Amino acid sequence: MRGLGPGLTARRLLPLRFPPRPPGPRLASGQLAGALERAMDELLRRAVPPTPAYELREKTPAPAEGQCADFVSFYGGLAETAERAELLGRLARGFGVDHGQVAEQSASVLHLRQQQREAAVLLQAEDRLRYALVPRYRGLFHHISKLDGGVRFLVQLRADLLEAQALKLVEGPDVREMNGVLKGMLSEWFSSGFLNLERVTWHSPCEVLQKVSEAEAVHPVKNWMDMKRRVGPYRRCYFFSHCSTPGEPLVVMHVALTGDISSNIQAIVKEHPPSETEEKNKIAAAIFYSISLTQQGLQGVELGTFLIKRVVKELQREFPHLGVFSSLSPIPGFTKWLLGLLNSQTKEHGRHELFTDSECKEISEITGGPTNETLRLLLSSSEWVQSEKLVRALQTPLMRLCAWYLYGEKHRGYALNPVANFHLQNGAVLWRINWMADVSLKGITGSCGLMANYRYFLEETGPNSTSYLGSKNIKASEQVLSLVAQFQKNSKL
């Protein structure tokens, strides 16, 4: 999946109301497993519609609604994650593509190409091949989507599938393929044309404010007064809802309206606005400081990207003079990456290739111990920020290490950090790295208090995105490139 956003994370807000499992006799674990597996096989045999012959594909009646409803009911009655994973695994393995049909239709296409038959005959053969490549379970998902609440069910089903994969309860190419098919279907159903942009204010319904508050996973809302600040003067909050569930947030975005590009998150989420009445001449920048996905099952669907584009247009309508758009984003994974480097270099006979000799000397004088070993212990907690001397001593090396982490550390050629990857795919510029920008416990332990600005130059986002996705080039500011150069000069991995 694409990276999510400025700390784009997921929480579940749309609970499915499954019927409780029907009471029955208590069986021994072996008997229970056997009975449950037989029930699963019988359910899938009955619920998954057979693939009609190609000639009958548009003439075969849809399966009875009750068959799909039975699957939904049975699945909802499975209380254990492992049980749901088992059912999904059986569905993926037993009701996918008919590989024999795919081979037969592929051979037919190749044969016709060799004979150089007319275009109409070849096109029909290719259409037969496409038809053979559709897995059977896609038909089940398609018909479930037509049930009342069916799309919502499928969103949760994919969330369960992702969780089962993460826990390694279900694995293999068939499962990955089914996840991809379901993701593709959800991407169509949740495309931008079906999404409504809604603004949240203090006068929004209480249930909406409550859901938005609960959805905030980047910088948690502490109380109602905190929530009031985040939707009050010099702040904006928007969310996408689906046309089938108006008022239900799918992805939520918080924006601060400021005089410049913000470098500290506490100044946004804790400090009171300059006045209760907005003065437009004090607003020069829009800072996207939080995007939270509320549905884990929509992971990989480009809701965050669509939301940024729509919010920018909305803000430009409200403030025609507004020209600066930037995120203030966490850097999840930086501390973990740094601790991994410190740990590996500690094992290599005390080599100090991350720091210069003068930095090692200063850090050792402050901490009273070897640089790598001591920092490995200190950075595992938040206590090190209590020493002003250590904070000053670490600023230069950690800034350049963070710049390299965001700019130089890659996964398949793209930025390793998911938040950086998200914004760079959107065409933003890696603009600035900020020291002690998040001094909360989460900020210190997750990214040593560092945060990054990804700036959106609206005329350049298209070319930047194309360059990143096609050539894997990261557009960065002089500040970031200077820090990267310092890393390359003073540190070695």
Is 423 tagged catalytic? yes
Cβ-based burial of 129 (10 A; exposed 0-12, middle 13-18, buried ≥19) = middle
Residues 98, 179: contact at Cβ < 8 Å? no
Residues 43, 328: contact at Cβ < 8 Å? no
Residues 294, 251: contact at Cβ < 8 Å? yes
From the CB of residue 317, how many other CB atoms can be counted at a distance below 10 Å? 9
The CA radius of gyration of the chain, in Å to the nearest whole number, is 27
Q: In Å, how far from its chain's centre is CA 435?
A: 25
From the CB of residue 249, how many other CB atoms can be counted at a distance below 10 Å? 25
Nearest CA-CA partner of 43 in 84, 15, 97, 79: 84
Q: Are strands 285-293 and 251-258 parallel, antiparallel or unpaired?
A: antiparallel
- Annotate 53-112 with DSSP letters as a single string: PGGGTTTSPPPPHHHHHHHHHHHHT--SHHHHHHHHHHHHHHSS--HHHHHHHHHHHHHH
User: Apex CA 321: angle with CA 317 and CA 325, to 5°?
Assistant: 80
Point out the catalytic residue in the list 213, 241, 327, 329: 329
**Rama region for 427: left / alpha / beta (φ>0; ψ in -120 to 50; rest):** left
Nearest CA-CA partner of 483 in 397, 365, 420: 397
Q: How far apart are CA 374 and CA 370, in angstroms?
A: 6
**Rama region for 410: left / alpha / beta (φ>0; ψ in -120 to 50; rest):** beta
Point out the catalytic residue in the list 423, 447, 477, 491: 423
From the CB of residue 342, how many other CB atoms can be counted at a distance below 10 Å? 20
Q: How far apart are CA 289 and CA 470, in angstroms?
A: 28
Is 326 tagged catalytic? no
User: Apex CA 492: angle with CA 489 and CA 493, to 5°?
Assistant: 145
Q: Say how many Å lie between the first and final Cα of the chain, rounded.
A: 28
Residue positions annotated with a catalytic role:
329, 423
